Amino acid sequence: MITIKNLHKKFKKLHALNDVSASFSRGQVVSLIGPNGSGKTTLIKSILGIVKPDAGSILFAGKSIDKQVAYRDNIGYMPQIGRYPDNMKIGQVIEMVKNIRNHKDGTLDDELFFDFKMDEMQDKNMRSLSGGTRQKVSAVLAFLFNPDVLILDEPTAGLDPLASEILKDKIIKEKKKGKLILITSHVLSDLDELTTDVMYLQDGKLHLYQTVENIKQQTGETRLEKAIAQVMKRYLKDGTATIPMTENREADYAKAI
C-alpha cells in the first residue's frame, strides 16, 4: 500500500533520514521506534507530504506521492502535538475539519467521538483544554473520516489509562478491518498487544524491520519490550549494524525496490 524507496532527508548537515526503504501493507500495525531525534517523525511527515525528501521516492497504492495531494484523503493523521485555533470550541474545530476534508456522506466514524464523551465537551474552548483532551480531539479527527491508513505519532502520550485503553481498542478494531496503521511510541508496553511489525530507526537509518512474531521467536521473550531490547543488544553493539530482515519483510522489500 505504501512503498518507500531509498529515502534521504537532510536538515543542513544532519542526516535525518539516511537511505530508508520499506513497504507497508493492509492489516499491518507497524510500530516505529527509536531514540529521540532518530527520524521517526520525519519519516511520517515525508509520507504525509509535509516534509519533502531530498532523494528517494514514496509510492501510495503504486503511485508516486510527488505532485499529488489526493492520496492524503486516505490517511488519518494524529500528530504528536495537535495545534488548533485557540478561540474555537471543540465542536467548531470538528465541524471545520469536516468541511475541509472530502468525505462521502454517511461514511464518518464517530465512535471515538462518543467513546471519549466529546459530545459532552463540544462547547469547551480549545484554549482551555488539558493536554490529554487535546490529544483526544486529535484522535477523533484522525479516525473520523474512516481512512484506509492511520498514522499516529505518540498517540497515547498524555492520555489517562482509560482513554489510552479506548484508543488501543479502537486501533485493534481498525486493524481487524484490514487498515494499515503506523504508530510511533516510546512506550513499548503500550504497543505490545497492537503491533504486527517493528521498525527501529537510529540516526536516520533503518536498523530493524521485522514481524513481532519473529522477534519474539528469535529471543524466546514473550514481552515485546524485552524481546526488542535483546535483539538490539545482539546486533547494535557498535551502533552501525543493520539487523537482517525476516523472510516476509525481505519479500516486501524486494517488492519495494
As measured in angstroms, the least distance from the Cβ of 104 to ligand ATP is 33
The cell numbers describing 129, all together, are 483544554
Task: Work out the end-to-end distance of the chain between its first and last CA atoms, rounded to an integer number of angstroms.
Answer: 14
Separation of alpha carbons 246 and 119, rounded Å: 45
36 binds ligand ATP (CB under 6 A): yes
Please choose, out of 11-19, 63-71, 163-171, 222-230, the segment that lies near ligand ATP by the rule CB under 6 A: 11-19
SS3 224: helix
Return the closest-CA partner of residue 127 out of 90, 154, 81. Answer: 90
- State in angstroms the smallest separation of the CB of 48 from ligand ATP: 12
* Window contacting ligand ATP (CB under 6 A); options: 20-28, 30-38, 57-65, 246-254: 30-38
40 forms part of the interface with ligand ATP (CB under 6 A): yes
16 forms part of the interface with ligand ATP (CB under 6 A)? yes
> In this structure, are residues 18 and 203 in contact, taking their beta carbons and an 8 Å threshold?
yes
- Residue whose CB is less far from ligand ATP, 28 or 41: 41
Q: Are 75 and 153 in contact (CB under 8 A)?
A: no
Report the C-alpha gap between 251 and 245 in whole angstroms: 9
| Span from 18-26, 29-37, 216-224, 246-254 in contact with ligand ATP (CB under 6 A) | 29-37
Q: Name the phi and psi angles at 167, rounded to 5.
A: -65, -40
Residues in CB range of 30: below 8 A, 6 or more apart: 24, 180, 181, 182, 183, 195, 196, 197, 198, 199
Q: Measured between alpha carbons, how far is 159 from 76 in angstroms, rounded to an integer?
A: 19
Residue 23 binds to ligand ATP (criterion: CB under 6 A): no
Does 38 sit near ligand ATP (CB under 6 A)? yes
- Binding residues for ligand ATP, rule CB under 6 A, total 11
Nearest in space to 7 (alpha carbons), one of 23, 21, 27 = 21
Report which DSSP code applies to 50: S
| Binder of ligand ATP out of 34, 53, 147, 155 (CB under 6 A) | 34
Q: Report, in Å, the least distance between residue 111 CB and ligand ATP.
A: 28
| C-beta of 77 vs 113, nearer to ligand ATP | 77
> Does the footprint of ligand ATP cover residue 158 (CB under 6 A)?
no
Which amino acid does the sequence have at 148?
D
- Of the candidate spans 9-17, 102-110, 132-140, 212-220, the one that interacts with ligand ATP by CB under 6 A turns out to be 9-17
Contact between 14 and ligand ATP by CB under 6 A: the answer reads yes
Which of 18, 25, 37, 192 contacts ligand ATP by CB under 6 A?
Answer: 37
For position 41 contacting ligand ATP by CB under 6 A, the verdict is yes
Q: Name the residues that contact ligand ATP, by CB under 6 A.
A: 11, 14, 16, 34, 36-42
